[in-house]
Amino acid sequence: MAIREIIEAPDPRLKTVSVPVETFDAELKALVDDMFETMYAANGIGLAAIQIGIPQRVLVIDLQPDDPDAEPEPCDHDGHHHTHQPTKREPRVFINPEILDPSVETKAYQEGCLSVPDIYADVDRPSTCRVRWQDLEGNAHEEAMDDMMAVCIQHEMDHLNGILFIDHLSRLKRNMALKKLDKMRKAA
Ligand code: GNR
Ligand code: NI
């Protein structure tokens, strides 16, 4: 297991269209392990293989990425003393995912991306969809997705097709985001 480096915009590798996985072997499992380790270390809720430079159609998602071994956080807002118990992780792997039946109804959500750090912007996407994918053994699955899962899987699917969330913005807003990124990188 290893934490890999996350590629950041405007690196042209992020524009790669990733290729389908054909071999469901130990190497694929090792890649997925590294993707989870990298995603958790970066406090993300999803990661596409291309974000660590591997152009294959592999996604990992965990909408509950808090470390289950972390100390409960003391917190006393509203004058009440209580602790935030970390919730159980829910790691999910999607190999060769496909989006089916995207809803006509869309919903805006303020998105971020580990490859576009510290930039956040509203993106409109279908509010629900079905997803068909394969697991690490190559078995096929299909499931209806909504809420945050629908947002996240569509964001990750975009990565597999070489698209970033800022590509959904107007050219003006996208250029502003890229300039801000460049400025923050120079300041760091
Ligand atoms: O960690 C992430 N958070 C997030 C928030 C709103 C919409 C999408 C995401 S995915 C992102 C991790 C990432 O960059 N995955 O590609
Ligand atoms: Ni992303």
Tell whether pTM > 0.85: yes
Distance CA 123, CA 110 (A): 6
Is the distance from CB of 128 to CB of 146 less than 8 angstroms?
yes
What's the CATH superfamily of 12-65+89-187? Peptide deformylase (3.90.45.10)
Query: Can you give the residue ranges of every domain in the chain?
Result: 12-65+89-187
Q: Cα(115) to centroid of ligand 1, in Å? A: 9
Q: What is the pLDDT of residues 53-83, one digit of tens each?
A: 999 999 999 999 888 888 776 666 566 666 7
Q: What is the pLDDT of residues 135-175, one digit of tens each?
A: 999 999 999 999 999 999 999 999 999 999 999 999 999 99
Q: Which amino acid is residue 183, in one-letter code?
A: K
Tokens of 147: 């809420």
Question: What residue's CA is closest to ligand 1, atom 11?
Answer: 113
